[in-house]
Amino acid sequence: MTDKKILLLGSGFVAAPCVEYLARKPENKITIASRRLANAQALSKQFPGTTAVSCDINNAEEIEKLVAEHDVAISLIPYIYHALVIKAAIKHKKHVVTTSYVSPAMMEHDQAAKEAGITVMNEIGLDPGIDHLYAVKTIEEVHNEGGKIKEFISFCGGLPAPEDSNNPFGYKFSWSARGVLLALKNTARYLEKGQVVEVSGTALMDSAKKLNTGYPGFAFVGYGNRDSTPYDKRYNIPEAETIIRGTIRYDGFCQFVKALVILGFLSEEEEAHFAADAQDITWSQVLAKIVGTDDTSAETLQAAIIAKCDLENNDHKQQILDGMRWLGFFSDVNVHRRGTLLDTFCATLEDKMQYGENERDLVFLQHRFEIELKDGSKQTRTSTLVEYGKVGGYSAMATTVGVPCAIATQLVLDGKITATGVLAPMTSEINNPIMELLEKENIGMIERIL
């Protein structure tokens, strides 16, 4: 049995389920590379037979040397570095797997990857990843039966399980709070009834709608995520009049965030009173500056917030004010100053909104297809994934990102995925073998015809 050498770049929270799956085969020799050696060693200790090394992702020579020594590189480092890894892989004719969206910088290497005869498999986590697998499956089935996809609507979210959604956002951070908040500034584009709709960052929270998921126990709302318009081509559904891909949150999240946006909490401007050498400042003093008053009493601040955010007749008024009290906004607690209001706010969120030891997360992903069958009759189909994290084990998010990534890596190593170039899972030839192995791990979407 020939050894297969696997390089894992990054040791973040989705890495463990990925390593666990690949480490089942004794011929897989896994090197875990992280900027901090201690992080790589901590992960390596869980899986005997794996090796830990340190690697500076900004050092192209270091990355190239590591890539050259392995058969495949799994890149779980920030997406801006993937092109660097792909470049090294092309030079040494090695394969690459990532869970990230294919960026223009990555796509530039498509032709060279084909010429080198290597597979660069991307978008194989949860979203993107599992969503593609089951979207393409249903679309191909409908097309093969002579039908048309008139609407494709897909929403996905990683949330605390309902019993652990015990804060005003109904949300907890398993990674950087800053990244989550800045994503709320992105413009969403989607196709609705034949028209391209563009929702700018500030209006994004207003655009959220209650979702009819068929699971009344979940009070979900959804809003558009990035640009859904290329999916007519990506999914080969030029006939679709509506194409929306979006993000799921619990009801109340969007109203609370909207109030915070109005108050300026997403501001990335450096402010003197948040500088490291500035004197201590409390949250009530910060709020007073924001709403333009010298009075830091809770009553005055709340009245000013109600006026500024137009909450008087808002159904969520009390929830929003309770949330601000929970965050400590009306208190004399000193803030963790970090230069900007956004980063100062993130310090408080990271303090108060981590997952507790025995808490679990939930991943919910649902596609809804409005279909016109060959005979002209209408049909609605859904594909739904509901996955909970294991208390004391992996989170649902880590599992649903890490395991598909590992399966794709194994299929590339075993010569079952042989397409070359910079790829995403958009064809049944690539997708079916991944789905088959995914379902053996009890991960998959439940398909229903309504």
71 is catalytic: no
pLDDT the model gives residue 60 = 86
**Per-residue confidence (pLDDT) for residue 175, from 0 to 100:** 67
Nearest residue to 250 via CA among 176, 309, 168, 173: 168
Q: What does the alpha-carbon distance between residue 240 and residue 369 come to, in Å, rounded to a whole number?
A: 10
Whether the Cβ atoms of residue 155 and residue 211 lie closer than 8 Å to each other: yes
Label residue 113 by pLDDT band (50, 70, 90). Answer: very high
Predicted pLDDT of residue 351:
85
Is residue 274 very low, low, confident or very high in pLDDT (cuts 50, 70, 90)? confident
User: Tell me, what's the pLDDT at 231?
Assistant: 97
Whether the per-residue pLDDT at 373 is higher than 70: the answer is: yes
pLDDT at 278 over 90: no
* Strand-pair category, 119-121 with 95-98: parallel
pLDDT at 69 (0 to 100): 94
Q: Is the pLDDT of residue 348 over 70?
A: yes
Residue 399 CA to residue 208 CA, distance in Å, equals 28
pLDDT at 5 over 70: yes
| Torsion on CA atoms 125, 130, 133, 139, rounded to nearest 10 | -140
Integer Cα distance of 294 and 291 in angstroms = 9
User: How many whole angstroms separate alpha carbon 204 and alpha carbon 27?
Assistant: 49
Strands 72-75 and 4-9: parallel
In the DSSP assignment, the letter for residue 187 is P
Tell me the average pLDDT across 220-235: 95
Closest of 133, 128, 122, 115 to residue 420, by C-alpha: 115
Q: Mean of the per-residue pLDDT values for the chain?
A: 93
Helix (H) or strand (E) holding 328: none
Catalytic residue from among 71, 127, 131, 361: 127
- pLDDT tens for 124-174 read 999 999 999 999 999 999 999 999 999 999 999 999 999 999 998 899 987
Which pLDDT belongs to residue 80?
Answer: 87
Q: Above 80 in pLDDT, residue 201?
A: no
Structural fold of domain 4-126+395-445: Rossmann fold (3.40.50)
Per-residue pLDDT, averaged over 27-32, amounts to 95
Asked if residue 186 has pLDDT above 90, the reply is no
> Is residue 24 very low, low, confident or very high in pLDDT (cuts 50, 70, 90)?
very high
Per-residue pLDDT tens over the stretch 53-84? 999 888 888 999 999 999 999 999 888 889 99
